Amino acid sequence: MADWIPWNDYYEVGVPSIDEQHREMFRQFNLVCDAVWDGKGRDAVKGFLLFLADYTQEHFGNEENRMKKHGFPGYATHKNTHDALVRDVAAFLQKYEQETLASDAVIKVITDLGGWTRQHIRAMDQELGQFLQERE
C-alpha cells in the first residue's frame, strides 16, 4: 500500500483510542487511492464512502460523548464540523450512486476529504486531545 496520505506523529492527539481511529481512516484513504490508481476505482470508492459514512459516525460519536462527559467548551463548534462532514459524505455517496462521475471528480472528493481530515485532526482534534488528556 502506498502512502498517498501518510500518517505522521504530529497527527497524534494523545488519546490512544482516538489516535487508533484516525490511523484507520488514513489507512482507508490509502487503500482507496491504491484502488483508484490500479483502475478499480468505482467499486473501491463506493466501498470507501460507505466505510467513511459509518466510521465517521462511530468515531465522531466517540469524540462527542467524551466532549459531553468532560464538559468540553468547544463541543458545539466541534460537533457542527462533524455534522457538516457527515452530510457532505452522505450527499456525495447519493450522487455517486445516481450518476457516473468522471474520475477526476472522484479523485477531487477523495483529496478534499483527506485534506479535511488532516486539517481537522491538526486543529480541532489536537485541542480536544489536550483537553481530554487533562481529564482522563
Percent of the chain whose predicted confidence (pLDDT) is above 90: 44
Report the alpha-carbon distance of residue 22 to residue 71 in Å, rounded.
22
Query: Which of helix, strand or coil describes residue 13?
Result: coil
User: The pTM is what?
Assistant: 0.86
Q: CA 7, 120, 83 angle in degrees (round to 5)? A: 130
Of residues 89 and 123, the one with the higher pLDDT is: 123
CATH number of 9-133: 1.20.120.50
Domain boundaries, the chain: 9-133
C-alpha cell at position 78: 466541534
- Summarised one tens digit per residue, pLDDT across range 29-56 is 888 888 877 777 667 777 888 888 888 8
The mean predicted confidence, pLDDT, of the chain is 87
